[in-house]
Amino acid sequence: MFNLINPNQANLKNDLLSGVTVALALVPEAVAFAFVAGVEPMVGLYAAFMMGLLASIFGGRPGMISGATGATAVVMVSLVAEHGVQYLFAAVVLAGLVQVAAGVLKLGKFIRMVPHPVMLGFVNGLAIVIFLAQLGQFQIRDSAGAMDWMQGEMLYTMGALIAATMLIIHFLPKFTTAVPAGLVAIVVITLAVLGLNLEARTVIDFVRDMVPADQAAGVTLKGELPHFAIPNVPFNLETLRIILPYALIIAAIGLIESLLTLTVIDEITDTRGQGNRECLGQGIANTANGFFGGMGGCAMIGQSMININSGGRGRLSGITAALVLLGFILFGAKYLEMIPLAVLVGIMFMVVLGTFEWSSFRIIRKIPRSDAFILVLVSAVTVIADLAVAVVVGVIVSALVFAWQHAKHINVDTYIDANGYKVYALRGPIFFGSVANFKELFDPKGDPEHVVIEFQRSRVSDHSGIEALDVLAERYQNAGKTLHLRHLSPECRRLLKRAGDLCEVNVWEDPNYHVATDVLA
């Protein structure tokens, strides 16, 4: 049912090795996002493990990596600060159930309504966000306990190691693809730092810089298996009132980021994931997070790109990443802690270069100005606010642009038929943007006793369109004339029931229109 292992041995090897690379790249971001949310590092690492494992098994996009993310972490911080981590776990459980409901109700299909300029803006904005997030790795704690930028030899070493990592990732695939270039870079750079005794910050240095100075010495990435526990919160309406708004926002942000990442990977791999199943997978993973002490999360485009670029295509790649991460936490924390931070930054810089749609600079002057504006707007809002807000803003602006453009496209052809009726053959939809132009097309005083509006090439799209027909029918009635509506679709007839006796509906050969269909479950 789940097709966890592709029988092709080459793909099996790629999935396993790619999973190891992704596991190593998950660590600093999981820890960083845990601190953003105001929880302990292990809460973020547990989230990375459980999200990665369960979303890979139950989700709808093989090869996509899920874990703790900044988009959801920024929502959690105020809840943790005001009510504590147990309320966070309860909110994550509820968010997971909301996402499962979205999958059951097949709401994943609506991601298809996101316009292409919004998708480009989302990808570019997220690439910029990933790049900016890496700049924090260039800061260290000074003698006074404050964070300051690197200088001198440490900075030069960091830059050189990043450059070496990027060169390995760029050139190694030209000679061999037997082993993921990212994994080779991690091993080579780590051995070089240890062998040459270079002054380079490691993963554990990064973790210790994020906790108070007096607690840093005892910090480690070694942990134990997550254990089941029902969130320790009162089960009453007051708790629901507290966690429900956070749960809905976490669920919405998680689904938007996951489904858009799914779409990006679809385009890169020329395959098609299942949006509704991904909603279920994300929901199952988040629900488990709340019961096992994780902060939840969603799909991660950066780690997903590392996986895809390293050859990971199947579910086994995500499962391997999760299990290897857990293995490091339980048994190999000391090896994880010695990995130079520079190599992980270099890998993420390569992700930025591969994620950003550089072709958008070439096409931006060739596409409509409205699309170019939306592309830039979504990118900017993604950087300034977050991607969920950016996508919503982009879709709303796209819809308004569409409405404005189509408001000008309604027109009419008129003629007198064999019965002496005047026929208005409409072209274009009647909706809030076009009703003003629609009303100006008719002449109730000068028209004959019977007037027919022909809807074969038009339709009533919303409540504003209904009201416009009501007003028009009343004007003809006041003039002692009868208005007929012909060739209405079934959806239009249902919308017009409220018009009552004002409109006589005479249906001939109605076309069947449908707003949305569910092609893939």
CATH value at residue 435: 3.30.750.24
CB burial of residue 431 (10 Å; 0-12, 13-18, 19+): buried
Domain count, the chain: 2
Which of 310, 325, 352 represents a domain boundary (last residue)?
352
Q: Which residue has the tokens 């037997």?
A: 178
**What is the rounded distance in angstroms from the CA atom of residue 60 to the CA atom of residue 48?**
18
Extract the tokens encoding 302.
């950066």
Partnered with residue 140 across adjacent β-strands are 148
CB 226 within 8 A of CB 293: yes
Instruction: Please give the residue range of the domain that contains residue 501.
Output: 408-506
Same domain, 93 and 232: yes
- pLDDT at 58 (0 to 100): 96
- pLDDT at 509 (0 to 100): 46
In the chain (521 residues long), the average pLDDT of successive 10-residue segments reads 47 90 88 82 93 95 91 86 94 96 89 83 86 86 78 92 94 87 91 92 84 74 91 95 93 90 89 92 97 94 89 92 94 89 90 87 88 92 82 88 79 90 90 86 91 87 80 86 81 62 46 41 35
Whether 241 maps to a domain, the answer reads: yes
CB 171 within 8 A of CB 195: no
Which of 332, 352, 372 represents a domain boundary (last residue)?
352
Whether 190 maps to a domain, the answer reads: no
- pLDDT at 229 (0 to 100): 94
DSSP 367: S
Same domain, 340 and 413: no
Same domain, 426 and 291: no
Residues near 298 by beta carbon (within 8 Å), at least 6 away in sequence: 51, 66, 69, 71, 72, 253, 254, 255, 257, 258, 282
Q: Which residue has the tokens 């006041």?
A: 478
- pLDDT at 41 (0 to 100): 85
Whether 341 maps to a domain, the answer reads: yes
Whether 163 maps to a domain, the answer reads: no
Same domain, 309 and 425: no
Same domain, 223 and 331: yes
Same domain, 244 and 344: yes
Same domain, 107 and 207: yes
Closest to 108 in 3D by CA, of 243, 246, 272: 272
Angle at the Cα of 382 (from 377 to 387), degrees rounded to 5? Answer: 120
Whether 456 maps to a domain, the answer reads: yes
- pLDDT at 56 (0 to 100): 95
- pLDDT at 397 (0 to 100): 92
Cβ count within 10 A of residue 207: 21
Same domain, 209 and 278: yes
Whether 264 maps to a domain, the answer reads: yes
Residues near 399 by beta carbon (within 8 Å), at least 6 away in sequence: none
Same domain, 218 and 308: yes
- pLDDT at 495 (0 to 100): 63
Whether 185 maps to a domain, the answer reads: no
CB 63 within 8 A of CB 312: yes
Same domain, 334 and 260: yes
**What is the rounded distance in angstroms from the CA atom of residue 247 to the CA atom of residue 508?**
49
Whether 4 maps to a domain, the answer reads: no
Same domain, 338 and 427: no
- pLDDT at 520 (0 to 100): 36
Which of 331, 352, 373 represents a domain boundary (last residue)?
352
Same domain, 242 and 328: yes
**What is the rounded distance in angstroms from the CA atom of residue 101 to the CA atom of residue 515?**
22
- pLDDT at 521 (0 to 100): 35
